[in-house]
Structure 1
Amino acid sequence: MAARGWLESLRGAKKTAVVQEGKRKVHYVFTDGAEMVEEYEISSDQLKVRKWKQKTTLGSPGQWQFEVGETYSRPAGTLEQQLIHESGSSPIFTRQDTKTCFQWRIRNIPYPKNVYTVTVDSDQRCCIVRTSNKKYYKKFNVADMDRCNLPLDSSALSFTHANNTLIITYQKPTAILQLEQEVQQELKKMKVAEDGDVQCKTQ
């Protein structure tokens, strides 16, 4: 889907918005029944959370899947399972963007920086993390780039490592920055409630 097509999809979705605890929370329902929730910091318009819920093949509501933000609040699994997952030593993969970059963090991954290789696979439209000691391998896509049908550029990709965390950064292209500005303009037109939902019907 091209950038313009994605923007029109957002405009055509049913939207409700609420301001809570310094964040603007927007709930989208798309024409295919998919739901998306985004949370932005009011002070900076920085996206903190984006999560999706798709209907299952049988038509029942699915579970929330995080695209941006921490997943520890996900409803899947028992409380005991969640606590075990979060307190374990297994690598934890999350996305936490900045205004100018897509950014991913892989925690609990202690190897020195020279062990890692992070590359772009243009054919598969994904980024790949490898370690020379063969202890870790991860493929992940850049959903925003996929939605806008933009090619991945290896020169936009970089990484660093500190405090047992690998930080992978992808510079947002101009098309994404422009799209995000337009989305913010649309969101600021919405009627917003304090700690309550307000339906915003698209015109």
Structure 2
Amino acid sequence: MAVASWLESLRAAKKTSLLQDGRKKVHYLFLDGKEMAEEYDIKTNELLLRKWRQKNALGSYGQWQTEVGELAPLSTSMLELDHIKESSCNVCKADQMPIFMRKDLKMSFQWRIRNLPYPVDVYDVSVDQNERCCIVRTSNKKYYKKFSIPDMDRCQLPLDKSALSFTHANNTLIITYQKPKEILEVEEELQKELKKMNASKDGDVECKTQ
């Protein structure tokens, strides 16, 4: 079962932990050479950041790729690469570009897309079962984006359109996907593993999260 396989990978990974700035920072080195860095709120255990990197063909590590947490505003040249399309007659200034980020909650995955000023009835958020992704589109054709849920892919779980919902407020589209019980079980087991670790305090040891 894919869920059990992913959980076993997490357990087998070499892990180091560091307490710093009110966060628990955990670095994972997997058997296949991939690295994952996570940061949790010490008081709430809320996941604040998750990023990945892996070796390239030359054997050196590439840039960190953020999966959960704050992202920088997208440049115009990045919009097409990220499946975001802006109206050619209404190009935003750099500080007004849509900002896409994922912020996890205990019971759900959540994404926020800032700088989207359109009224709520313009948006349509759906699930594409074949491409295993969520799709955001607007009826005024000003915005379009596809994004996956890596946690669901790693566990090879089907996407459920009934788990998806969205709201809009303060120029921000908030998309929520309720976590299935399999994901909640994996996260619960992972927290048990992390509690067994002896986390070093800032200054004691370097945690490779940069």
How does the TM-score come out when normalised to structure 1? 0.88
Q: Give the distance between the partners of 1:4 and 1:186, measured in 2 at CA.
A: 15
Asked if the contact 1:17/1:198 (under 8 Å) is kept, the reply is no
Q: Residue 7 in 1 paired to residue 14 in 2?
A: no
- Go from structure 1 to structure 2 and tell me whether the alpha carbon gap of 1:198 and 1:7 turns closer, same or farther (over 3 Å shift): farther
- Go from structure 1 to structure 2 and tell me whether the alpha carbon gap of 1:198 and 1:64 turns closer, same or farther (over 3 Å shift): closer
Q: Give the distance between the partners of 2:142 and 2:206, measured in 1 at CA.
A: 48
How far off is 1:57 after superposition?
A: 2.5
Q: What residue number does 1:99 align with?
A: 106
Instruction: Select between 54-63 and 154-163 the one with higher mean Cα deviation.
Output: 54-63
Give the 5 Å matches for 1:179-198: 179-195=186-202, 196-197=204-205
Q: Give the distance between the partners of 1:135 and 1:156, measured in 2 at CA.
A: 25
How does the TM-score come out when normalised to structure 2? 0.85
How far off is 1:88 after superposition?
A: 1.7
Q: Give the distance between the partners of 2:192 and 2:51, measured in 1 at CA.
A: 21
Q: Give the distance between the partners of 1:21 and 1:100, measured in 2 at CA.
A: 25
The letter of the residue matching 2:65 is: Q
Q: Deviations over 1:149-168 (max 9, x none)?
A: 10000000000000110000
What is the Cα-based RMSD across aligned positions, in Å? Answer: 1.9
Give the 5 Å matches for 1:1-203: 2-72=2-72, 88-195=95-202, 196-197=204-205
Asked if the contact 2:71/2:100 (under 8 Å) is kept, the reply is no
- Go from structure 1 to structure 2 and tell me whether the alpha carbon gap of 1:14 and 1:198 turns closer, same or farther (over 3 Å shift): farther
Query: Runs of 5+ in structure 1 lacking a partner?
Result: 73-85
Asked if the contact 1:91/1:107 (under 8 Å) is kept, the reply is yes
How far off is 1:87 after superposition?
A: 5.5
Q: What fraction of aligned residue pairs are identical, expressed as a percent?
A: 65
The letter of the residue matching 1:187 is: L
How far off is 1:71 after superposition?
A: 2.4
Q: Deviations over 1:89-138 (max 9, x none)?
A: 11010000110110000001110010000000011100000000111000
Q: Give the distance between the partners of 2:142 and 2:58, measured in 1 at CA.
A: 38
Count of matched residue positions in the alignment of Structure 1 and Structure 2 = 188
The letter of the residue matching 1:152 is: L
Q: Give the distance between the partners of 2:170 and 2:99, measured in 1 at CA.
A: 13
Q: Give the distance between the partners of 1:58 and 1:198, measured in 2 at CA.
A: 26
Asked if the contact 1:16/1:197 (under 8 Å) is kept, the reply is no
Q: Give the distance between the partners of 1:45 and 1:161, measured in 2 at CA.
A: 27
Asked if the contact 2:99/2:115 (under 8 Å) is kept, the reply is yes
Does the residue aligned with 1:88 lie in a helix, a strand or coil?
helix
Asked if the contact 1:191/1:198 (under 8 Å) is kept, the reply is no
Q: What residue number does 2:75 align with?
A: none
